[in-house]
Structure 1
Amino acid sequence: MNRDAMLSWVLGAAAVAVGYVQWGWRGVILATTLVVFWMLLQFSRAVRVMRDAASAPVGSVPSAVMLHAKLRRGMRLTQVLRLTGSLGRRLATEPETFEWADASGAAIRAELEGGRLARWDLQRSGEEAVSPPSGPSPA
């Protein structure tokens, strides 16, 4: 289980415990309702991103260069899909590799590890791949 999922479960359990201590069974019901509401919001956001991405042609972006400039290490897949506006063309499963191309022939290849963007490079038609600048990854 990754760190974000563990933190979510701990916060949910803490909300239920605080609700019980403060207001008894009514607090447990309130905390449970809030946790379920939060989960529904997250699910709704993910479905909206996937629906919007599915309505566009697979693997296409308006500008691969602009996408390359906006990508950051550690972005979640839903954040990448929101930037691209389309589902990527899957190239490999280990590591998860997707590609998006624009009309000029430039393409972005993105590798995901644990659902987060790990590496990506820009490939222009007839040129070598351009990798992102190396630097500290966000915490």
Structure 2
Amino acid sequence: MRPMNFQKVFVPLTGLLLLGLSYRSFGWSGVAVACTGIVMFLLLHFTRTMQVLKRAADRPIGYVASAVMLNAKLKPGVTLLHVVAMTRSLGLLKTPKEQQPETYRWTDGGLSYVEGIFLNGKLQSWTLTRPPVEDDAAPVALQDGNPPPAV
């Protein structure tokens, strides 16, 4: 059995309570003002969601400018929408659809990536993985345990 998400119940109940108190205090004009406020809240939330998705639509799926910077900015409990807003990219889904928890990956140009685990849309944990560093400089040959003299 899935745990109950109180936010899904609390927000509608708060709206109904607000409507009831508005009617009791100010009659139908109070209900009209409360409905206007509720609709305004819903429109603001919808507009923000559409703006985040519009920005993410212009970028490749699972791409982020810097995985290290994303790793530094993440905090437990942030929503998937907030992470998409930070990265300006939809994450690459690594788990089967509709399976909880969900794992998303964002990769940067240097092949470093951040994998975030989301439970019911909230970030639970994340890991930063960086590719192994290859040294371009040739190894210094030691003679008798000492490096060669500098020229």
TM-score (norm 2): 0.79
Deviation track 1:95-137 (CA, whole Å, cap 9, x = no partner) reads 211111111110011111010001110111138xxxxxxxxxx
Choose 1 or 2 for highest CA Rg.
2
Identical aligned residues as a percent: 36
Within 5 Å, give how 1:1-139 maps onto structure 2. Answer: 2-93=5-96, 94=99, 95-126=101-132
Find the aligned partners of 1:29 and 1:5 in 2 and give their Cα distance: 24
Could you tell me which runs of 5 or more consecutive residues in structure 1 were left unpaired when the two chains were aligned.
128-139
Could you tell me which runs of 5 or more consecutive residues in structure 2 were left unpaired when the two chains were aligned.
134-151
Q: Counterpart amino acid of 2:111?
A: G
Find the aligned partners of 1:79 and 1:3 in 2 and give their Cα distance: 20
Q: Counterpart amino acid of 2:124?
A: A
Q: How many residues align?
A: 127
- SS state at 1:97 partner: strand
Large movers: runs of 4+ above 3 Å: none
Q: Counterpart amino acid of 1:62?
A: A
Q: Is the strand fraction higher in 1 or 2? A: 1
Q: Counterpart amino acid of 1:123?
A: T
